[in-house]
Amino acid sequence: MKKHNFSAGPCILPQDVLKKASEAVLNFNGLDLSLIEISHRSKEFVEVMENARNLVKELLNVPNGYSVLFLQGGASLEFLMTAYNLLKVDGKAAYLDTGAWAAKALKEAKLLGEIDVVASSKDKTYNYIPKNYAIPADVDYFHCTSNNTIYGTQIKEFPKTDSLLVCDMSSDIFSKQIDVSKFDLIYAGAQKNMGPAGTTLVIVKDSILGKTGRKIPSMLDYQVHINKDSMFNTPPVFPVYVSMLTLQWLKDLGGVAAIEKINEEKAALLYAEIDRNPLFKGFAEVEDRSLMNVTFNLTNEEDKEAFDKIWNAAGISGIKGHRSVGGYRASIYNAMPIESIQVLVNAMQQLEK
């Protein structure tokens, strides 16, 4: 039976990418050596790293003056690296609290300085994005999380600020068009839309670095990684390679503009059923609904056993909601085909019947 993978991450990847990646593990580029056993200093892997970085620049129209890095540690390490590299000694930063990951980011930053939480949606279990908040003029940077995987909310319009703008785009990077020039630092774990867990994409404006007045450990210093072309230490060769393949797949599909249109169609199909079907209700506020993570609950919890049997029988996987929200979460990242969305819609309609 075909599986329909709605996992929140590590998540679905294109089948063509998985096939090419598996072949490379056995025999990479006809070398009769595995991708994961060749030197990361070899010209073959240096070419992989360069291709991956260039695809990021091309797909997101990254302006001159920005560096693209593939690092390790996930977004969780970026929570700390952001503060180390941008928060001045005795400085202050502003954070928008829109979910569990945003809260973890500000927790790490508090280790290094004063943090001003400008707004929070914790009062309603993070089911909306705060609006009309003020960002203080005296902060070193403002940090936000573009898409909240657990709660199914997404920032539709980013605030204007005179301070540096930092964004964790782990779960919606490459899913829609963005103007990179409006941001000073973007970071994203690979395991949602780009590749397997193990590498983290960082896009940083070069001119903002080296101004904190603090000593930064080498592994946490963006400038060190820029100087070494993402190879200060042995890079995660397999995740970088699979990310390169996924970015090439996206380019061949027509790029970010093309996938954005597809993603809008997929989300519209599923949200329409949630709103139409009296047995279901959406969790997130309508205006803040995510195009990547669709969160919903049953109107009557007594239907849970019956619905779980239906979607399991249909080959659906990974739609159980996060424990803090309950219900269901359908993660519909770039590689999720619309046919799988229809299978879930059919399951919801079967429960209704």
- Residues 6 or more apart in contact with residue 108 via CB below 8 angstroms: 79, 80, 83
| Annotated catalytic residue, options 168, 172, 221, 288 | 168
97, 172, 184, 192: which is the annotated catalytic residue?
192
The amino acid that residue 167 corresponds to is C
- Per DSSP, which regions of 56-111 are E strands? 66-71, 92-97
**Number of neighbours of residue 237 by Cβ within 10 angstroms:** 22
Cβ–Cβ under 8 Å, residues 139 and 93: yes
Planar angle of CA 140, 145, 149, nearest 5 degrees: 165
Q: How far is CA 316 from CA 269, 306, 347, 351, 353, in A?
A: 17, 14, 9, 14, 19
**Number of CB atoms found within 10 A of residue 183's CB:** 20
From the candidates 97, 101, 266, 311, give the one annotated as an active-site residue. Answer: 101
**Residue 115: which of 93, 146, 83, 136 has the closest Cα?**
93
- Distance between CA atoms of residues 67 and 104, nearest Å: 25
**Alpha carbons 71 and 230: distance in angstroms, whole number:** 6
Is 192 considered catalytic here? yes
Active site residues: 101, 168, 192
